[in-house]
Amino acid sequence: MAWIKRNLLFVIGGTLALGLLGAVGFYDYINWKRNTAAFDRLNEVYRTLQELINQKPSPGNDKINNIETANQQEAELRGWINQARNYFEPIVPIPHPTNGPISNESFADALHRTIDQLRREAPNANVGLPPQYSFTFEAQSQRVKFAPGSLGPLSAQLGEVKAITEVLYKSRVNQLDGIQRVRVSDDDTSGPQMDYLADRPVTTELAVLTPYTVTFRAFSPEIAQTLAGFASSPYGFVVQSINVQPAGAVASSSGAVPPAPPPPGNMPGKGGLQSVLQEQLLRVTLEVEIVKLLPKK
């Protein structure tokens, strides 16, 4: 105690110095924790940024905003899709009542009238048909009642088959050998196998793709007109493939006589050599998809 009394000022100064050192240490510790937390946060932000940059597509940088560009391109694509809808008009089902659901009676009547109409139009277009051809609806042609839930899909297919047939009639092909469609009804199991495809419609985010196969005989000008007819149609016809092979100059199964080949061309005067172009009748198989756009979301 005597020593403390003699060195009181020294003791007080030392105590204050120790207190200040403790305060400084505590302050340094607090700032160290804060800096460590900030550094960890900075590393986390850096890792996130690197992950975003490595994404495909990358969001961009301070000069290029890929997200904004992607949004603009999406808007442009949707605008193009809206404009393209003008070239993919829906084919009207047969029948297409506006005041209620399709009945068995109305579909049976529409089916018979449509088949009869297509049969009568064939000779006017000089197109041969198989005997008593029912245009893929043989299974339904003798019925007055149809499988439950099938009238909607069948009426859609009847309208589509009629639209396909009219393209062939307009092109004046020599002979329609047959059309094939997908099965949409339990009644289709009793129909001729040649009327059906094993494929199924495909649904995407934008449309339903319904396949058909068309087989006919024609000369090359009529084949070109048929392809042009599908391409220029307001409906969503897309020719997926074409197979062409010689058919032979034979009469059609309906008794129709194939049209005469084009007249000879480049015939020189008497005494010169004659150059005759004899075109061959061809058998054509087209795989056609009908693109039916889904309603706008």
**What are 266-284's pLDDT values in tens digits?**
444 445 555 455 678 999 9
Q: Are residues 79 and 110 in the same domain?
A: no
- Last-in-domain residue among 85, 111, 126: 85
Give percent above pLDDT 70 in the chain.
Answer: 64
Q: Are residues 78 and 132 in the same domain?
A: no
Indicate if the pLDDT at residue 249 is higher than 50. Answer: no
CA 277/CA 260 separation, integer angstroms:
12
Burial tier of 9 (Cβ tally within 10 Å: 0-12, 13-18, 19+):
exposed
CATH code of the domain covering residue 99: 3.30.70.60
**What are 78-135's pLDDT values in tens digits?**
676 666 666 788 999 999 988 889 999 999 999 999 999 999 999 999 999 999 999 9
Q: Are residues 124 and 38 in the same domain?
A: no
**What are 19-40's pLDDT values in tens digits?**
555 554 555 555 556 666 666 7
Confidence of residue 295 (pLDDT cuts 50, 70, 90): confident
**What are 60-83's pLDDT values in tens digits?**
555 666 677 777 777 776 676 666
Q: Are residues 113 and 213 in the same domain?
A: yes
pTM above 0.75, yes or no: no
- Residue 151 falls inside a structural domain: yes
Give percent above pLDDT 90 in the chain.
Answer: 51
Q: Are residues 66 and 118 in the same domain?
A: no
- Residue 258 falls inside a structural domain: no
- Residue 272 falls inside a structural domain: no
Q: Are residues 115 and 168 in the same domain?
A: yes
- Residue 259 falls inside a structural domain: no
Length of the chain: 297
Q: Which of 159, 158, 138, 148 is nearest to 104 (CA)?
A: 148
Q: Are residues 77 and 181 in the same domain?
A: no
Tell me phi and psi for residue 168, to 5 degrees: -65, -40
- Last-in-domain residue among 33, 51, 85: 85
pLDDT averaged over every residue in the chain: 80
Confidence of residue 264 (pLDDT cuts 50, 70, 90): very low
- Residue 69 falls inside a structural domain: yes
User: Could you count the other beta carbons within 10 Å of the beta carbon of residue 255?
Assistant: 8
Q: Are residues 236 and 101 in the same domain?
A: yes
Query: What's the confidence (pLDDT) of residue 253?
Result: 41
Q: How many domains does the chain have?
A: 2
- Residue 202 falls inside a structural domain: yes
Q: Are residues 73 and 179 in the same domain?
A: no
**Whole domain around residue 37: which residue ranges?**
2-85
Burial tier of 80 (Cβ tally within 10 Å: 0-12, 13-18, 19+):
exposed
Query: What's the confidence (pLDDT) of residue 262?
Result: 47
Helix (H) or strand (E) holding 218: strand 207-218
- In sequence order, what DSSP letters do the residues of 150-205 get, joined into one string? -HHHHHHHHHHHHHHHHHHHHHT-SEEEEEEEE--SGGGGGS-GGGEES---EE-S
Q: Are residues 48 and 116 in the same domain?
A: no
- Residue 56 falls inside a structural domain: yes
**What are 157-179's pLDDT values in tens digits?**
999 999 999 999 999 999 999 99
CA 236/CA 85 separation, integer angstroms:
9
- Last-in-domain residue among 85, 113, 130: 85
- Residue 34 falls inside a structural domain: yes
- In sequence order, what DSSP letters do the residues of 108-134 get, joined into one string? HHHHHHHHHHHHHHHHHTT-B--TT--
Q: Are residues 102 and 242 in the same domain?
A: yes
